[in-house]
Amino acid sequence: MNLLFEIFLEELPTSEMIHLEEDVLELFTKEMEDKNIPYKEPTFYLTPRRMALKFEFEEKTKQEDKKIYGPPKSVCFKDGKPTKALEGFLKKNNATEEDLIFEETKKGEYAIIVKKGDVLDTKPLVVEAIKNIFENIHFYKKMRWGTGDYEYVRPVHNVLFLINNALVDFEFMGKRANNYTFGHRFMSKGKIEVNFDSYERKLEENFVIVDQRKRKELILSELENIAKEHNAKLIYDEDLLEEVVNLVEYPVVVIGKFEDRFLKLPKEVLITSMKDHQRYFAFMKDGKLLNMFAAISNIKTNNMDVIRNGYERVLRARFSDAEFFFEEDKKYRLESFVEKLGDMLFHEKLGTQLERTKRLVELSGFIANLMGFDEEKAKRAAYLSKADLLTQMVYEFPELQGVMGREYALISGEDEEVAQAIYEQYLPKEDEIPKTGAGISLSIADKADIIVGGFFAGLKPTGAKDPYGLRRAALGIIRTIIENRIFVNMKTILKKAAELYKKDVNFDEIEEFFKIRFENLFSDYPYDLLKSVTFKFDDIYDAYLRLLAIEKFVKGDPNKEKQFAVKRVFNIVKDFDGLDVNEELFVQDEEKALFEKIKEIENELDKYLKDRRYLDLLERVASIKDTINTFFDNVMVMDKDQDLRNNRLSLLNRLRQIVLNVANFKFLEI
């Protein structure tokens, strides 16, 4: 059997459309599995004015067999005859003694009847499933309309519901199901009767590309063809592409131009204005922005010049405003804005932007010194870091903070690294991370300041909410440190940040916060491996290198023989902290043999740790696995004699301490 369902409604907000396909298909899978309905892979369609689902399913379904437990076997019979307890159980379930089976459970042997699952028609089950799916979609905001009590993401105008191309008796949000839908709002008129096979084709004939995947392909293909025609490169933006796909039902790409004079503005200003304000795509050629754009229209007319002129007129006004702001801002040196930051509140509990700037100057210099970067450049960048917040350009385009700071710093004659650092303070973004010494220092300082301030000011994230971006800040620090291969004690930086606030904070809590972000960032790794390295987390990049080492070690030991040998040590030593080994207390050759092997590794330890050759260290320990196993097979570690027991535990703890330089094997699941 086949099914076609569509809800036709007012224009959906793009913010709600982002999650719709995933949510609907997740609900669909749950409903079909719960009802045990065999089906073929569904197709979900989404446009600004419709949600639709199309799939095939079996006509019949056999429900699962059900076990019904009765009394214990011990009370089922007396003198070979059924007891009243058994007779009551059989009568209640319309069964006979022949239907009985006995099954062993944790509480003993019990009487059981197996009720065979019924074979049911799937149609009513599927209709119920469709109702549940579309009623239970999570929307961030819902609305009411008309005089009814209905509440949905947008007012519903029509419901199409066909099974085997026959109309289904169904109602949704006050609308009875029909066998028709509607085409494009402006280029199509009247009702369109469709069926399972003709749905996509007939809508396309009426100027609706109902498949969002096809709309995306059409738009991207056209944009790439345009770029090719102009020997240019499309500035690809996945978020923008997804947004315009969700804004149109019939995409028509319109090419427009703008005056060359606007190209004197920083390219980020033009790109941001085109993307965020107008949803236009930009193009580059030979590393420079072209004075052309591509807009995605939802309508095709006989005279597309009218639409093109409209797009160009609106963009010209935007660019003219930006040009004015840029020229006005250039009249002042960037540093002239700094003292005025005293009138701008950062947060009521964390002071003004000027107070924050002063903290960042000290913290950036401290970090630069710690990491071996130019301290003065880091301090200068920090001093100017928030000045662009008071420029007219950033006031109008908040997304350009940092970008304009860099541009105005260069215009003001600042050092190039200082200017670049002002931009890099807001990184990482996607694949871009801070690269200059001053930028790395300022970026980490900026994020450490908000994290420490957030923790003592009660601004910590709760659940899915993180209004002050503390999680993002921690992830940014982790990425910056790892991708720049920097070894640094993060707690030292956080303590300095707290000192500048003159506040006490719980550093253990903040370290745990960073650990969770680290584990989330590397969630592709097995969780036990992550826990085995984050037990020690004072140096983030070091933890990352140890994670790589333990992963390679585990992958290179598919039979787990090496892991098991080391794990045995951790299992028995646990929290024992003794390290003094008295050779005079050795009574077995296996003790002496293991001690000699351990001393050999201890003598080599510095060369492994100096170059952080963690995998080599693990392999070196694993090389004595036979000695370890022989020791465990022949030596009673937990001897009744306390001196012998503690001496043997100390011996094993010496080996454990070597391994703890890399990972804590107690977390490994072996």
**What pLDDT does residue 575 have?**
80
Mean pLDDT, residues 164-185:
96
Q: How far apart are CA 654 and CA 212, in angstroms?
A: 62
Q: What is the CATH number of domain 556-667?
A: 1.10.730.10
Candidate CATH numbers 1.10.8, 1.10.3210, 1.25.10, 1.10.3470; the one for domain 338-521: 1.10.3210
Residue 642 neighbours by CB under 8 Å, 6+ apart? none
Domain 2-61+121-205 -> CATH class: alpha beta
Q: How far apart are CA 388 and CA 266, in angstroms?
A: 14
pLDDT in tens, 41-80: 999 999 999 999 999 999 988 777 778 899 998 889 988 8
pLDDT band at 100 (very low <50, low <70, confident <90, very high): confident
- Rounded Cα distance, 28 and 53, in Å: 10
Contacts (Cβ under 8 Å, ≥6 apart) of 169: 177
Which residue matches tokens 């260069």?
410
| Residue 348: both structure tokens together | 């009521």
Across 185-216, b (16+ Cβ under 10 Å) vs e yields eeebeeebebebeebbebbeebbbbbbbeebb
DSSP output for 224-244: HHHHHHTT-EE---HHHHHHH
The rounded distance, in Å, linking the Cα atoms of 536 and 511 is 10
pLDDT at residue 175, rounded to an integer: 95
Task: Determine the pLDDT at residue 81.
Answer: 87
Predicted confidence (pLDDT) at residue 417 exceeds the cutoff of 80? yes
- List the single range of 148-152, 340-344, 589-593 with lowest mean pLDDT: 148-152
Q: Count the neighbouring beta carbons within 10 Å of the beta carbon of residue 154.
A: 19
Average pLDDT over residues 432-450: 97
The two tokens of residue 96 are 């006979």
* Length of the chain counted residue by residue: 670
Q: pLDDT tens digits, residue range 421-433?
A: 999 999 999 889 9
CB-neighbour burial class of residue 617 (10 A; exposed 0-12, middle 13-18, buried 19+): buried
As a whole number, mean pLDDT of residues 449-458 equals 93
Check pLDDT > 90 for residue 599.
yes
What is the pLDDT, as a whole number, of residue 312?
96
Residue spans in the chain of domains classed CATH 1.10.3210: 338-521
Query: CATH 3.30.70 in the chain, residues?
Result: 2-61+121-205
| pLDDT score for 146 | 85
Counting beta carbons within 10 angstroms of the beta carbon of residue 571, is it exposed (0 to 12), middle (13 to 18) or buried (19 or more)?
middle
Paired tokens of 507: 């550093």
Cα distance between residue 598 and residue 631, in whole Å: 13
pLDDT tens-digit readout, 636-651: 999 999 999 999 999 9
Share of the chain above pLDDT 70, in %: 100
pLDDT at residue 465, as a whole number: 82
Q: How far apart are CA 113 and CA 92, in angstroms?
A: 11
d(CA 254, CA 307): 8
Residue 60 is predicted with a pLDDT of 87
Output b/e per residue, 499-522; b: 16+ Cβ within 10 A.
ebbeeebeeeebbebbbebbbebb
pLDDT of 117 higher than 80: no
Distances from the Cα of 559 to the Cαs of 546, 549, 564, 626, 653, in angstroms? Answer: 21, 18, 9, 15, 25
Q: What is the mean pLDDT of residues 309-329?
A: 96
In the chain, residues under CATH classification 1.10.730.10 are 556-667
- Per residue in 118-157, pLDDT (tens digit) is 778 889 999 999 999 999 999 999 999 988 789 999 999 9
Task: Band the pLDDT of 116: cuts 50, 70, 90.
Answer: confident
Residue 572 contacts residue 629 (beta carbons within 8 Å): no
Using the predicted structure, report yes or no on whether residue 316 has a pLDDT greater than 90. yes
Backbone angles phi, psi at 183, to 5 degrees: -90, -150
Give per-residue pLDDT as tens, 490-516.
999 999 999 999 988 889 999 999 999
The yes-or-no verdict on residue 9 having pLDDT over 80 is yes
**Cα 429 to Cα 479: distance, rounded to the nearest angstrom:** 10
φ/ψ of 577, rounded to 5, equals -115, 5
